[in-house]
Structure 1
Amino acid sequence: MAATLKASILLKTLDSDIVGDVFSDQGRRGSGAVHVIMGPMFSGKSTSLLRRIKSEISVGRSVAMLKSSKDTRYAKDSVVTHDGIGFPCWALPDLMSFPDKFGLDAYNKLDVIGIDEAQFFGDLYEFCCKAADDDGKTVIVAGLDGDYLRRSFGAVLDVIPIADSVTKLTARCEVCGQKAFFTLRKTCDTRTELIGGADVYMPVCRKHYITNHIVMKASKKVLEVADKARAESCVAAII
């Protein structure tokens, strides 16, 4: 009951903040704005983005939603939250091509552009500058601020200096239930871009991020030693 009450209060606060931004941007229509929503995986970034988009639509603003064509986890042409809530979108390999693909006349009539999984777009900063500064659009960016090694991921952090607002969300640590600021990868795959869900990643607090990394490093070393021993054994058998 307490957890439900806290969630309800959080949603009301978030909706209030969203409404404030929506009316603020509407009041200076045509001047452009950039809003950034970031945080670890499972922190509700896509949910917050969809709420904001729906609030924009409710006050009569025209909206387009974009996401990276790399993300095909739930649907190819929709932004879908981990809870299964979806919204139609344009799946693109880059952002700067969007005006031409959407049609320049239609693009000029747009008020708001939402961008989900923004860390996958290399031209994010360039697009936000053009869309907000030159074209007068409100751009809402949602993405990871850090990768599984807690390094800057993509260009999301690059957009902060040109942002009107920045919201950092938190998840719940899957180990202890405290606030989770980081994303832990469960596999030994070392690629920076490894798209996956709960099967690959989990949100964790600082304590359990450090603890689990120590365990994973030790496990990796054991596996490497075992693999080397097996390889040497095979070579010896062949000889």
Structure 2
Amino acid sequence: MKSILNPKLSAALSPNLPKFSSFALFPRPSEFMTPFPTRIPNHLRLNPTHFSSRNMIPTTQNRSLQSESSASASSSGEIHVIVGPMFAGKTTSLIRRIQSESGNGRNVAIIKSSKDTRYGLDSIVTHDGTKLPCWALANLSSFKQKFGVDAYEQLDVIGIDEAQFFDDLYDFCREAADHDGKTVVVAGLDGNYLRRNFGSVLDIIPLADSVTKLTARCEICGKHAFFTLRKTQETQVELIGGVDVYMPVCRQHYVNGQVAMETTRLVLESQKVECGSHS
């Protein structure tokens, strides 16, 4: 891997991937080809007048089309989206993909939102402690300048973690894949604690080459968990936290949990009213 990356990231990305030996797809020509006859019958001879050097030279228009086609092929990127509730392994999947791409000799970089300071600003970290160095940014549009234009040109793969916090996610992914030829791997929440669209993650689904929906394990019954239940009374959409604030739940326990949370809220409000009347 080239030296355009953060040295810590270069050291962290070195999976032991198996090496595959080359093999022949076709037998040698001598194994199935027979020699041409030494004398070609007259009726099979080609008329030289049908060919000229003019036929063998591409026109300016053809050369232009070939050039455009080649440029289009070389600039074709990809977008892969990984979504799911909290504790579903989104960051783990992102790290594995980045390590795999790096192991295949591609230049990689990882970005996360500077809003997420739970495990420090210089790394993306899974809930079980696995981490890789990253760029912590307030917005994605500043990445090319901060990373360096020349270094950005050499990048093959860009990973984005906690993508729901980036308002410019759609424009960045479209530009990086459609025009810059980058492979962009995006990991983030598809819904907030109210099961509504969170940030711009769902907006990039129409741009994506692939979408992976991960599930966690319901903290109450152990079934597949598709939703994130907030365990506290805060109501703001962006509330960064871990197991102290959120838990993954199945549909049944999400609904039951919401009912329980609403009941608790009403009880607390009534207690406040009673305390106010007594004072």
TM-score range, shorter chain: 0.7 to 0.9
Q: Aligned to 1:49, what secondary structure does the other structure show? A: helix
| Distance in 2 (alpha carbons) for counterparts of 1:134 and 1:97 | 17
Measure how far apart 1:63 and its partner are: 0.3
Residue in structure 1 matched with residue 253 of structure 2 by the alignment: 208
1:128 aligns with 2:177: no
Q: Aligned to 2:140, what secondary structure does the other structure show? A: coil
Measure how far apart 1:29 and its partner are: 5.9
| Distance in 1 (alpha carbons) for counterparts of 2:75 and 2:240 | 36
| Distance in 1 (alpha carbons) for counterparts of 2:274 and 2:96 | 54
Measure how far apart 1:232 and its partner are: 2.2
Q: Map residues 212-223 of structure 1 onto 2, 5 A cutoff.
A: 212-223=257-268
| Distance in 2 (alpha carbons) for counterparts of 1:87 and 1:221 | 43
TM-score, normalized by length of structure 1?
Answer: 0.85
1:55 aligns with 2:111: no
1:162 aligns with 2:195: no
Residue in structure 1 matched with residue 219 of structure 2 by the alignment: 174
Residue in structure 1 matched with residue 110 of structure 2 by the alignment: 65
Residue in structure 1 matched with residue 37 of structure 2 by the alignment: none
Q: Map residues 91-170 of structure 1 onto 2, 5 A cutoff.
A: 91-170=136-215
Larger Rg: 2
RMSD: 0.8
Cα shift readout 1:77-118 (whole Å, capped 9, x = no counterpart): 100000000000000000011000111000011000000000
Q: Aligned to 1:209, what secondary structure does the other structure show? A: helix
Cα shift readout 1:144-174 (whole Å, capped 9, x = no counterpart): 0000000000000000000000000000000
Tell me which amino acid in the other structure corresponds to 1:125.
Y
Tell me which amino acid in the other structure corresponds to 1:180.
A
2:192·2:237 contact (CA, 8 Å) conserved in 1?
A: yes
Cα shift readout 1:170-198 (whole Å, capped 9, x = no counterpart): 00000000000000000010010000000
2:113·2:165 contact (CA, 8 Å) conserved in 1?
A: yes
Unpaired segments of 5 or more residues in structure 2?
Answer: 1-72
Residue in structure 2 matched with residue 5 of structure 1 by the alignment: none
In the alignment of these two chains, the number of paired residues is 207
2:75·2:178 contact (CA, 8 Å) conserved in 1?
A: no
Tell me which amino acid in the other structure corresponds to 1:149.
L
| Distance in 2 (alpha carbons) for counterparts of 1:230 and 1:161 | 53
Identity %: 66
Q: Aligned to 2:181, what secondary structure does the other structure show? A: coil
| Distance in 2 (alpha carbons) for counterparts of 1:107 and 1:34 | 17
Residue in structure 2 matched with residue 186 of structure 1 by the alignment: 231
Measure how far apart 1:75 and its partner are: 1.9
Q: Aligned to 1:161, what secondary structure does the other structure show? A: helix
| Distance in 1 (alpha carbons) for counterparts of 2:116 and 2:151 | 25
1:89 pairs, out of 131, 134, 143, with 134
| Distance in 2 (alpha carbons) for counterparts of 1:116 and 1:224 | 37
Q: Aligned to 2:170, what secondary structure does the other structure show? A: helix
Runs ≥4 residues deviating over 4 A:
none
| Distance in 1 (alpha carbons) for counterparts of 2:168 and 2:275 | 45
Tell me which amino acid in the other structure corresponds to 2:211.
V
Measure how far apart 1:74 and its partner are: 1.1
Tell me which amino acid in the other structure corresponds to 1:168.
K
Residue in structure 2 matched with residue 23 of structure 1 by the alignment: none
Unpaired segments of 5 or more residues in structure 1?
Answer: 1-27, 235-239
